[in-house]
Amino acid sequence: MSAPKTTAGIPAAWAQARGTDQFVAGGKVEDHDFRRADLSDIRIEEPRADRADFREANMQDFRCLGGSWLEARFDGAFLVKANFFDALMNRACFDAAQLETATLATCMLKNASFVGADLPRANLVGADLTGADFTDASLVGARAKDAIFRDAKLHGTDFTNADLAGANFTGADMANVTWANAKLDDARFDPGADPRRVS
């Protein structure tokens, strides 16, 4: 049985860092309930936010360096221009989230869910998305050089104009994927699944 969610408001240190260039310690916020909270323009580092609930939160221009966000919920959250660097986010859920120009560069996002998420021009460079679910997600114009999509579910995913150079798609379940004008230099696919060889 999982621990109950707690509602503690926005940590005082987070609120003090809003609108500044100062990154403050993220602290321990595991299992906290931040649903619909205004977390915009906040800067934190190394939080422990496993299983925290950010559903429908406003996280525009939120910045985070490192930390653990295992199984955190971001369903329907507004993450436009949000930046996460080197964060551990395995099994996090971003279903139907707005991630336009967001950065998840070099993050660990194994088995994360992005079903129906909107990620136009997002930065996923070097992210580990092994086993992630991008069903009906839009990654139009996204930058995902060297990203790992191994064993990912890519049903109806739109990679139009995305930079996927060096990305790894081996084992990915790809059905009705849109690759229009995507850059696929040195990208890896299973034999017979390479869209560059489909006539």
pLDDT in tens for each of the 199 residues of the chain?
343 333 348 999 999 889 988 999 999 999 999 999 999 999 999 999 999 999 999 999 999 999 999 999 999 999 999 999 999 999 999 999 999 999 999 999 999 999 999 999 999 999 999 999 999 999 999 999 999 999 999 999 999 999 999 999 999 999 999 999 999 999 999 998 999 876 4
CB 152 within 8 A of CB 132: yes
CB 192 within 8 A of CB 172: no
pLDDT of the residue at 196: 85
Q: Tens digits of per-residue pLDDT, 65-112? A: 999 999 999 999 999 999 999 999 999 999 999 999 999 999 999 999
DSSP H helical ranges for 76-128 = none
Distance CA 162, CA 145 (A): 9
Cβ-count burial 38-49 (b if 16+ within 10 Å, e if not): ebbbbbbeebeb
Q: DSSP assignment, residue 21?
A: S
Residue recorded with tokens 């990915």:
172
| CATH fold for the domain made of 20-199 | Pectate Lyase C-like (2.160.20)
Which pair of tokens denotes residue 81? 């221009």
Closest to 152 in 3D by CA, of 119, 179, 189 = 189
Distance CA 115, CA 97 (A): 9
pTM: 0.93
Write down the domain spans for the chain: 20-199
